[in-house]
Amino acid sequence: MTDIRHELRKFVAPEFIIGEDARLLAGRYAKNYSVSHVMVVTDEQMLKTGWISSILESLTAEGIQYTIFSDVNPNPRDFEVMKGADLYRESRCDALVAIGGGSPIDCAKGIGIVVTNHSHILDFEGVDNISVSSPPLICIPTTAGSAADVSQFAVINDSRRKVKITIISKKIVPDISLIDPIPLTTLPKGLTAHTGMDAIVHSIEAYVSNASSPVTDIHALESIRILSKYLPLAYQNPENLHYRYQTLLGSLLAGLAFSNASLGIIHAMAHSLGGEYDLTHGECNALLLESAIEFNFSTCPDRYLSIGRALGVDYQCSDAEQCKGELIQALTKLRESVGIVQRFRQIGISMDCIPDLARNAIRDPCLATNPREPDIRDIEQIYARAL
């Protein structure tokens, strides 16, 4: 008879279709949801690529009207969400189609929250604070990283406080994600690197999360295996469709893992940096990763060693501390292989910035599932090591 306790865990995921030309199913699914006028949420950069035209054609072919909202910046602001919600109501839309990376998708989630719950987006910060489900949401991700298209998370920038707020609720899980590698073939190398490292951090934090489960573990470790192999290849060969498909698959698995196991200290600290200084989220995660592992490692060394094996580390160590060094060395090599080589001090972050950053990070809900509980001094030290 064993004393092992199998705690209750739930797993939430949307429908998704992955493969070439999945984006062209947008019109069919909009019709399946019996909607007549969708708001297409995207950004100006996405409009310039031309990929959006084929998606709009699929809507028109099914008799679906659309209104485009593209006033979305990286790290979407609260006022952008509110502006989009006003346009949604004025245009009498009844569904949302989000096209782009995490920013348009999170903005679309925010718009959906506002139009059905009739309150300011900042009122929904935290876990399970949404009363009414959003309108139908179809997501078409064009980066392999955020996995906002399959998660129950939305991150919005509070423009007054200059902090990112996290909204977590199964009521904002998209209805379907159409995961198509073709648009990624024009993704710039920098975005490939930053979004890919974001996905790897999703999997690492989900795997060591105190809310992990056997189901999230499977997704997290397989994501790490795939991304550690194919992200550098996609970075060097951006037009290779197979490499792009594999990074999307890795991002999808990472999203399924972290959406259900949640995240940890790296994301809490990256949210603080992104809110205050408008830095790229994936780059912040990548630059914090090694210092955060130094802090967390002793709490769950076996978990971190499994992450190393998924990365392909052939440990030559005699004790856990030496193995930690080999793991961190492998992650440093991976980060540098995709061109993320500068430190925070080189992008304008100094020791003077750290106290304010730490005060914001300590309040982030992602800290609730970090394997080791930090105090504000611990967070300051992690920031300092990452400089």
Is the pLDDT at 1 greater than 60, yes or no? Answer: no
Pairing of strands 163-168, 153-158: antiparallel
8 Å CB contact between 378 and 295: yes
Is the model's pLDDT at 20 over the cut of 70?
A: yes
In the prediction, which pLDDT does 347 show? 86
H-only helix segments in the chain: 26-32, 44-49, 52-61, 78-90, 102-117, 189-208, 214-236, 241-261, 265-277, 281-296, 301-311, 320-337, 354-361, 376-386
Which of 1-10, 49-58, 375-384 has the weakest average pLDDT? 1-10
pLDDT digits over 282-334, tens only? 999 999 999 999 999 999 999 999 999 999 999 888 888 899 999 999 999 99
Whether 215 and 260 have beta carbons less than 8 Å apart is answered as yes
For residue 29, the model assigns a pLDDT of 97
- With a CB cutoff of 8 Å and minimum separation 6, the contacts of 346 are none
User: What is the distance between the alpha carbons of residues 77 and 162, in angstroms, rounded to a whole number?
Assistant: 10
Three-state DSSP class for 231? helix
Which of 78, 72, 60 lies closest to 24, judged by CA?
A: 60
**Region 78-82 average pLDDT:** 98
* Residues sharing a CB contact under 8 Å with residue 37, sequence separation 6 or more, in sequence order: 64, 65, 66, 67, 91, 92, 93, 94, 95
pLDDT of residue 81 exceeding 90, the answer is yes
pLDDT tens digit string along 337-366? 999 998 999 988 999 999 999 999 999 999
DSSP state of 34: T
The mean pLDDT of 91-115, rounded to a whole number, is 97
Query: Do the beta carbons of residue 67 and residue 76 sit within 8 Å?
Result: no
Output the pLDDT for position 2: 58
Q: Report d(CA 296, CA 208) in Å as an integer.
A: 9
Find tokens 């998209």 and name the residue. 174
Q: Each residue of 30-73: pLDDT tens digit?
A: 999 999 999 999 999 899 888 999 999 999 999 999 999 999 99
User: What pTM does this model have?
Assistant: 0.95
Domains and CATH numbers, the chain: 15-184 (3.40.50.1970), 188-386 (1.20.1090.10)
- Indicate the average pLDDT of the chain: 95
pLDDT score, position 7: 84
177 Cα distance to chain centroid: 14
How do 95-100 and 137-141 pair as beta strands?
parallel
pLDDT at 106 over 70: yes
How many of the other CB atoms lie within 10 Å of CB of 70? 18
The pair of three-digit structure tokens given for residue 161, joined into one six-digit string: 């406080």
Nearest C-alpha neighbor of 103 from the set 77, 83, 123: 77
